[in-house]
Structure formats: structure tokens, C-alpha cells
Chains A and B, each alone.
Chain A
Amino acid sequence: MIQLIDLTKHFGQLVAVDHINLHVKKGEIFGFLGPNGAGKTTTIKMLTGLLKPTSGRALVDEHDVVVHPMEAKRVVGFIPDQPFLYEKLTGVEFLSFIGSLFGMKRDEIQWGISQLLDLFELDGWGDELIESYSHGMKQRLVMSAALLHDPKVIIVDEPMVGLDPKGINLVKRIFRQKSQGGATIFLSTHTLEIAQQLCHRLSIINRGKLIAVGTLPELMKALEDKTGQRGTLEALFLALTGKSLDE
């Protein structure tokens, strides 16, 4: 469902993403881990059409994001790490706007809005201007917007930022349901616990390069082979990104 082929991004002299190759299957929750500045957000921005790759390709549902951006974007629901929204619209108006951009019919939009506002516990806030929402509420609204058109692929950058424990639990439940329903979830995070609990497969990116891909047991096995010790995902993460637990 998602394929990255030699995906590379340069910012001047800096190589932010360095020839990444990945394949994420349908219905999979795929964790994309890495320390700050590793290239997670850059990769996600290339996947969603916000950045153009310097070289390589990014395919979503077999559509090249650069060559056929409309087709690729149509199947994606994107949840960015910072919810910058149209502050002068109400929650309902914003969702209605997003639904129209994705070519949904009016009654579909209406139905979807009522369902999602209820699901994300925003139903009392639908007619309030977004400028009065808290950060967590904005994040939940962005999630509603990303799910409104029932996308085949959900791309999430740091999903739990700004959410309270109840919200985190809700999001985890929704992602699992969506995955079971056939949606692919590409999830970038540095919250290892979330990745461990949610993801079918994980990858670790460091300094623009993909340094590990596999299921959690596969990665643990790799750690054991490398260090001769059994450990946690945190230990693996630190070992691969060149840090120690004490740092």
C-alpha cells in the first residue's frame, strides 16, 4: 500500500532522507521510529505531497505522489504533529470543508461529521470557532478530518502529542479498528511504548538512513545477535541510534 523506493531528500548540503526503501502492506500498522531530526517528518511530508523528493519515489496505493498527486492524496488521511487549522471556522465548518475537498457528497459529510464528533468527544464543540479549542481538541479535530473520507492510508506524525491519557487510549482503539478494517497506518513517533503496543512492524531511521525494519520479535532477535543480551525496544532503539540508556 505504501512503497518508498530510494527516497532521498536534500536540503542544501544536508541529506535529510538518504535512499530509503520500504514497503508497507495493506491493513498494517507500521511504526516509523527515530530520534529528533532523524528524517521522520521529512519522509512523511514527502509521502503526503508537502515536500518533493530530491530523488527516488514514494507510492501510495500504487500512485506515485509526484506523478499522480491527486490520486495519491485522495486515498490518504494525514494527521500532522502540529494542528494548524483555519481558526475562524467552527469545527463542523472545518470538517465540512475537508469533506468537500475530498469530493464527498453532502449527506456523507453530514453523517461523517456527526459520527466523528461523537467518536472524538467533540460533539458539544462543533459550533465553536476552532480558535477557542485547546491543543488536544485541535488534535482530535485533525484526526476527525483525516478519517472523514474513510482513507485507505492514514499517515500520522506524532499522534499522541497534546492528547490526554483518555485521548491516547481512544486513538489507539481507533487505529486498531481501522487496521482491522483494511486501512494502512503509517505512524511516526518517538514514543516507543505506543509503537510497541500498536504496530505490526517497526522501522528505525537515524540521520536519514533506515537502519532497521521488522516485527518487534525480529528486531529483538537482531539486538540479541548484536549484543548477546535480551532487551527492550528502548534498548534496541538506543543501541541502533548510537546512544546508551544512561545518556
Chain B
Amino acid sequence: MNEVLLLLWPKAKSIGNRFKHRQARDLIRPAVMAILALLFWVVIFVLFYKVLVYFKSIEILGEILLAKLMAVVFLTFFLMLTVSNIITSLSTYFLSEDTRLILSIPVSTEKVYLSKYLITLGHSSWMVLLFGIPVFTAYGSVYGAPITYYLWFAVIFLVFLLTPGGVGVMISMSLVNLVPAKRAKGVLVVLFILFLAALYLFFRFLQPEKLVNPEKFSELVDYLAMMKLPTSPFLPSHWATRSLFPLLKGQFEDSMFYFLLLFSTGLMSILTGSWICRLLYYRGWSRSHESREAKMKGTPLLEGFLDFLMRPFHGSTRAMVVKDVKTFLRDARQWSQLILLFALVVVYLFNFKALPLNKVPGISFYLENVISFLNVGLAGFVLSAVAVRFVYPAISLEGRSFWIVMSSPIELMRFIWCKFWTSLVPLLLLAEALIILSNTFLHVTQFMMVISTVTIFFITIAIVSMGIGIGAVYPRFRVEDVAQIHSGFGGLIYMIICLTFIGLVILLEAWPTYLIFMARIGHRSLSFFQWIEVVFCFCLTILIILTAIFMPFKIGLKRLSRIEI
């Protein structure tokens, strides 16, 4: 164990050194981080609390819906954690710079495995932990759960993280051994296919159509019986639900059994991982350095397309954009994150496709349009999640080569604009596709379609601008792994600012949109005071959007011009 701790020591020491010589003013950052994280938690907590209270109030079904939702949350976390662990472990075990040194010193493979397993777990799980705490606290509050629930939640959740970590490492170990040479790209293509399979399973486990469409059941009893069915009795997410849910009411029932199942599987996954590591790690590491196919045969199609697109732009702008696109497509560590993007989008659209709103009694034309409006916020959230991985790191991705930009005759403003446009175009396409497709599934009115597409257009511009601006304020040119860029302080600040911004825009647009929508439905015109309200709210929205577009850009540029490398 001492050796494992020793291997973790440089990481821990590096973190410690960051705080060691801090002065009072240096404490601002952690203080701000803590406050923002707290605010973020409060928002997530309130949102979930409201949803859970609503579910609980539904007679007969309420309790079952809450249990089902918890199962869905755990299942989603499990799948996300597994994929995240596969990607992170590829970096920590095979791509990180310290691996060469570690493998050259006399430490057993098991110890290396365990230290890197803990690092992988830390990197890939903190985000889920951050989201999980307010969600499960909301559950506790709705049920007025005893203190034992919260204590057990902490234990169960930490134990729940073990299995996806172990599974993720095992999969990446096997993949690197199956695919010869250091073709991380090839490895990740296989990963991609695996993820598709996992996604398919995910939907089958969820059976969302059965959740919301009781018509297909001949009797209510059948429906309830279906709702009571476990998502999958063999998955840790199910065991976590079964061990945590009864504790909400202070009942232990089978909690201990499922907890022990979860715990033993977690330990078993670590042990199996260690065994697989002993068999495959060194071989995989070695093979990953044997054949390197670095010769580029050229990509005339892509180059021609980019050349055509960038023709109207200045030579240095063109060069910068082409460089960024090529680097992105050739760097598996960057484009592999598209896997997560793909998952997000598929799940997002599937949700709308699967929502049988017209088949559920009481769901009206009115509700479809309300959902459409809220969909803008949801799409904004998805876009923020995408942007924190692809837009926010844009400046930091220059890495140690940033000296090239700094010593070249390219204005920093132009440099930032290049980053902005390179990020904006794909994100805008994604945003509009999400909104238009989901609105089409919802059969919304033309008015709602226009409002949501226009709103998401400006929200996306602001999200990109904030990503570039805040990314310039918190550049990290010396990270070993690109995933570290967005998982730092700046990434968190960016996410929180994005969500606050989206919330504000939605909140401000909700009232005027409601007024106009109701007036159109009722075939009447707005009163004078209503017009004032509408204009005021829209003006305030425009002001916030403009601030969100220009302010971060200005601050980012100022910060970047002061950078010394």
C-alpha cells in the first residue's frame, strides 16, 4: 500500500503545492469555487425537489415513479461513468507522460494499476458526484429521511463508483491489446461501437415508452407490475437503488444485501482489473509503442472543403482554423469526446421521439408548447455540456506550442476570433438541429418554433463566446491530458455561468412568450400594459445575451494579452 501511496504522492504534492504558498488574495479562487458550487447545488436541489414533490403527489403511481426515477438516475450514472472511465483510463494508463517514468522504476504492476485506478476514478467520477449530491439530498428532503439515509448515501455512492471504474479499466486494457500499435484512434472506434451497444441496452433497460403509455396495458395492475419490474437486476445501478431507496423511509429491508452485493462487486472488479492488468498492461503498453503510423497520406477532400469555406477570410485566420480542425480530427484524445456528445444527442432526441404526449390523457396541445419552450433550456444545458468539452478548452489546447502564436504577427483578437468561429459553426448546427428535430417531434406551433430557434441561436453564440472568453481567463497550457482542461476550476465556473445564463434567459422569456402564445390561441390582441411587459422582458433578455457575448470576450482578450510564457 505504501508504494501505491508513493505513486500517488506526486499528484497529491502537486495539488498541495498549489495551496502551500498562497496569500490571502489567492484564496479568492477556492472561495468563489465553493460559493458557485453551493449555488449550483441549490439550483439542482430545488429543481429535483419540485419534480419529486410532484411525482410523490400522484396517487398510487407516485412512489413507484420515484423509485423508477432513482433507478434511471443510477443507470444513467453507471453508463456515463463506465464510458468516462474507459476514456480516462486510456489516458492515465497509456498516454500520460508520467507512465514512462513509473514503468521504468521497480514497482509491481498491481501497484501501478491501483494508483492509476484511483487517479482514473477521481478524474472520471467527480462530475457525477457533483450532480449526485443535490439529487439524492432532494430525495431525502421529500421523504423527510432520517440522518442514516444521508450517511448511507455517502457510503453507497462511493461504493457505486468502484465497479464502473474497474470495468472501464478492464475494457481499455483489453482494447489496447486487441488493437495493435499505438492507434488510439482505432481503439476508440471500437469504443464507439461498444458505446452504441451500451446505448441500445440503456434504452431497452429504460423501456421509456412503457413508463408513459399505460394504454398498452389491458389493466392498471399490469401497468403497476411493469413499473415495479427492476431495470436490470444484474446491474450495480439496480443494487444501488435497492439499497438506497428503502432507507428514505428508514427501512432497511434488503438494503444491506444489495449494498454488500454492490460492495463485493466493486471489490471484485478492482481485483479482476488487477489480474487483467498483470496479464495485459505491459503487453498493451509495449504494443502501443511498437508501430506508429505517422505518415499522412493527405486529406484532399477535407482540405478542399476547408479551403473553400475559408476562402473569404484572412490568410492567418484560414491557417489557424485549418490547423485547429486538422489537429482536432487527428488527435484521438480530442475527437474521442465526440462519443459523449453522440450519446447526449441520441438520448436527447430519443426522449422527445419516445414521449407519447398525445396518448397520455390530460396532455394537451398547451403542454406540448410549454415543453417546447422548456426544451430551449434543456438544449442549452446539453450545449453547455458539449461546449465545456469542446469550446472551453480551445485556447488551452494550443498547449506548449502557444509560443508560436505569441511570437507570430497575429493579433490576439484575430486569434480569439478564429477560435470563436471554429467552435461556433458546429455548435450552432448542433443546437438548431436539436431544437428543430425535438420541436418537430412535439408538433409545436410555428410561433414556438420561431421563438425557440431564434433563442437557441443567440444562446449558442453566447455559450461559445463565454467558452472562449472564460477559457482565455483560465488557460492551462501545460496539462498532460486534454480532459484535465475542462475538469478544472475554470471549467466549473464556465458550466455554472452557462447554466445561470440559460436559466435567466428562459426565465425572462417565459412570461412574454406565454402572453403572446395565449393571445394567439385565444385569437385576441395584447393590452397596452402587456405589450410593455413583453417589450421590457425581451429588451432585458437581449441585454443579457449581448453582455454574455461581449463581456467574456473582452475579459478573455485582456487576460490573454497579459499572459507571459
* A contacts, CB < 8 Å to B: 45, 48-52, 69-71, 73-74, 76, 78, 80, 82, 84-86, 88-90, 93, 96-98, 100-104, 127-129, 131-132
Contacts and interface: CB of A to CB of B under 8 A. Distances in A.
Contact of B319 (A50, A78, A97, A128): A97
A93 B409 contact: no
A96 B319 contact: yes
Given A49-B406, A100-B315, A101-B408, A90 B296 contact: yes
A43 B316 CA distance: 27
Nearest to B406: A50
B564 A51 contact: yes
B563 to A, nearest CB: 9
B309 interface: no
B334 to A, nearest CB: 9
A76 B409 CA distance: 9
B330 A129 contact: yes
Interface residues of B, number: 32
B406 A128 contact: no
B408 A86 contact: no
B400 A84 contact: yes
A45 B407 CA distance: 9
Interface string B409-425: 11100000000000000
Counting chain B CB atoms within 10 Å of each CB, the highest count among A73, A80, A84 belongs to A84
A98 B564 contact: no
8 contacts: A50-B565, A84-B400, A86-B327, A88-B327, A97-B319, A100-B315, A101-B404, A127-B298
Contacts of A88: 326-327, 330-331
A127 B399 contact: no
Given A97-B319, A101-B316, 15 more contacts: A45-B564, A49-B406, A50-B406, A51-B564, A52-B564, A73-B407, A78-B407, A86-B401, A86-B404, A88-B326, A90-B296, A93-B323, A98-B408, A102-B409, A104-B315
A69 B403 CA distance: 14
Contacts of B123: none
Contact of B403 (A80, A97, A132): A80
A103 B400 contact: no
A127 B408 CA distance: 23
B409 A103 contact: yes
A100 B297 CA distance: 22
Counting chain A CB atoms within 10 Å of each CB, the highest count among B315, B316, B565 belongs to B315
B292 interface: yes
Interface string B74-109: 000000000000000000000000000000000000
A22 to B, nearest CB: 19
Contacts of A96: 319
A128 B330 CA distance: 13
A130 to B, nearest CB: 9
Given A50-B565, A51-B564, A100 B316 contact: yes
A198 to B, nearest CB: 23
A79 to B, nearest CB: 10
Contacts of B319: 96-97, 100-101
Contacts of B564: 45, 50-52
Contacts of B405: 101
B326 A89 contact: yes
B407 A76 contact: yes
B408 A102 contact: yes
B558 interface: no
Contacts of A84: 399-401, 403
Given A52-B564, A88-B330, A103-B316, A70 B411 contact: yes
A69 B296 CA distance: 35
A14 to B, nearest CB: 14
A73 B331 CA distance: 30
Q: What are the 10 closest A-B residue pairs judged by CB atoms, nearest first?
A: A100-B319, A132-B294, A84-B400, A88-B330, A129-B294, A73-B409, A101-B408, A74-B409, A88-B327, A48-B407
A102 B316 CA distance: 8
Interface in B453-487: none
B310 to A, nearest CB: 11
B523 interface: no
Counting chain A CB atoms within 10 Å of each CB, the highest count among B318, B327, B403, B565 belongs to B403
Contacts of B409: 69-71, 73-74, 101-103
Nearest to B405: A101
Nearest to B562: A52
B295 interface: yes
A52 B319 CA distance: 26
Interface string B279-311: 000000000000010111110000000000000
A26 B544 CA distance: 54
Contacts of B298: 127
Given A98-B408, A131-B294, A103 B326 contact: no
B401 A85 contact: yes
Interface in B536-565: 562, 564-565
A50 B294 contact: no
A127 B300 CA distance: 13
B439 to A, nearest CB: 38
B146 to A, nearest CB: 53
A19 to B, nearest CB: 19
A78 B409 CA distance: 12
Given A50-B403, A127-B295, A129-B330, A100 B565 contact: no
B163 to A, nearest CB: 35
B323 A86 contact: yes
Contact of A128 (B294, B326, B327, B331): B294
Given A88-B331, A93-B326, A101 B296 contact: no
Contact of B323 (A45, A73, A89, A102): A89
B473 to A, nearest CB: 18
